[in-house]
Chains A and B, each alone.
Chain A
Amino acid sequence: MAKENIIVKILRYNPEKDKKPFWKKYDLEVDDDSTILDILNEIHWNIDGTLAYRRSCRSSICGSCAMKVNGQNVLACKTPMHKFKGNKLKIEPLPGFSILKDLVVDMDGFFEKMKRIKPYLILDKPIPDKEFIQKPDEFECIRESAICILCGACTSSCPSLWANEDYLGPAALLKAYRFIFDTRDDGKDERIDIINDKNGIWRCHTIFNCMEACPKDIKITEYLSRLKVKVLENSI
């Protein structure tokens, strides 16, 4: 395994000391197959212990380590450093959210929006004895949207959200899609009423940043387009 020298610039911010975030440079030697998270770990464990960042599973399923690297939102544990050309990395916290410390951002608003669209099964009918029966193609419709790991990379990459904090954002709308298009769910009208708003689905301008940012390669914009048609069909 070959070693490689890289220069990492990280946007640091300590709310107790600093008024504004500032860039700090680290020169280090890492294995050439490391991911962004490996580099952060290397810095945190061996160079600078004060660096704060979120991490947990390091196998792209917990959704903790989304951050902006070289101008793109990525999941640090899933992204090899060779995705970016050259040996310079610029690591920032997710844009659009408030910074708590270093790379840790305030996700409260994100999860509050997620809760607003009621991300759980709403039932009118009695619960069946064994299981809900669903045809394969009915499930295929929501399969991809159901694998969202709530990392926030999409919502934070959305220019509509940068300009307007009240916008629900692609992640919450994708969750709405996942339940509205679920044949087992009965809360369709309720949810459509919530997302059919100027700060709901209609603030989506099909910019495709969310689709580029999604670490699970979910075709978010495609689902939001279907959702728009569905909302027009149902709620007016």
Chain B
Amino acid sequence: MGYRWLSFNFSYSMGTLGGIMKKGFRETSKKGGIPWLIQRISAVIIFVIIMIHFVTYHLLSEGAFKWDKVVSKMKSPWFNLMQFLLLCTVLYHGLNGVWMVVEDYIHIKGLRLFLFSLIIVVGISLFFVGVLTIIKVSNFNLEILRAGVIK
């Protein structure tokens, strides 16, 4: 027994990545295998980031959330990159999950198309709102840095 599954899974992931490069993304994702895989990869990323998020915002911080406190947390570009990664993965994971439920239970073509476009519109608009928030808040931080009044 031992670590046989490790080698098994390593070969599997490398084979998969090679296959995506060879055959192209669109054809393979149509069949359902690629979304399934990305759903699991994004799940791992979200798990790690959400735990960091909870520890930094709730376990280690004291008192209520005030504007300057939250904004000063987003000083580091690495932290903002993490937020951006969380935004992308969470939107993909969540909306793909909803789409999976729709595919399971909705069989009327028109309704399915409507829900699909709704998911896409919600995804794109939430993405832009989130990205704009991250960019604007890091600009606030830059302004505070320039003014030299960091606390």
A and B are partners in one complex rather than unrelated chains:
yes
Say how far B111's CB is from chain A's closest CB, in angstroms.
14
> How many angstroms from the CA of A196 to the CA of B30 in the assembled complex?
10
Q: Give the A-B contact count at a CB cut-off of 8 A.
A: 48
A contact residues around B107 at 8 Å (CB): 164
> How many angstroms from the CA of A164 to the CA of B108 in the assembled complex?
12
Contact, CB under 8 Å: B105 / A163: yes
Interface stretch among B12-20, B46-54, B58-66?
A: B12-20
> How many angstroms from the CA of A228 to the CA of B35 in the assembled complex?
13
A-side interface mostly? helix
A contact residues around B12 at 8 Å (CB): 229, 232-233
> How many angstroms from the CA of A202 to the CA of B30 in the assembled complex?
11
> How many angstroms from the CA of A203 to the CA of B36 in the assembled complex?
10
Contact, CB under 8 Å: B32 / A236: no
> How many angstroms from the CA of A160 to the CA of B103 in the assembled complex?
10
Contact, CB under 8 Å: B28 / A236: yes
* Residue of B9, B16, B19, B32 touching A197 (CB-CB under 8 A): B32
Say how far B20's CB is from chain A's closest CB, in angstroms.
6
Interface residues on chain B, number (Cβ under 8 Å): 20
* Residue of B11, B19, B23, B31 touching A202 (CB-CB under 8 A): B31
Contact, CB under 8 Å: A236 / B104: no
Contact, CB under 8 Å: B16 / A163: no
Contact, CB under 8 Å: A235 / B33: yes
Interface residues on chain A, number (Cβ under 8 Å): 17
* Contact status of A198 and B32, CB under 8 A, knowing A233-B16, A236-B16, A236-B19: yes
B contact residues around A231 at 8 Å (CB): 33
- Measured CB to CB, the nearest residue on chain B to A199 is B32
Say how far B105's CB is from chain A's closest CB, in angstroms.
5
Say how far A3's CB is from chain B's closest CB, in angstroms.
47
A contact residues around B36 at 8 Å (CB): 202, 228
Residues of B within 8 A of A (CB): 9, 11-12, 15-16, 19-20, 23, 28, 30-34, 36-37, 103-105, 107
Query: A163-B104, A196-B32, A203-B104 given. 16 additional CB < 8 A pairs?
Result: A160-B104, A164-B104, A197-B31, A200-B32, A202-B33, A203-B32, A229-B12, A232-B12, A232-B16, A232-B19, A233-B12, A233-B15, A234-B15, A235-B33, A236-B20, A236-B34
3 closest cross-chain pairs (CB), A and B:
A202-B32, A236-B19, A236-B28
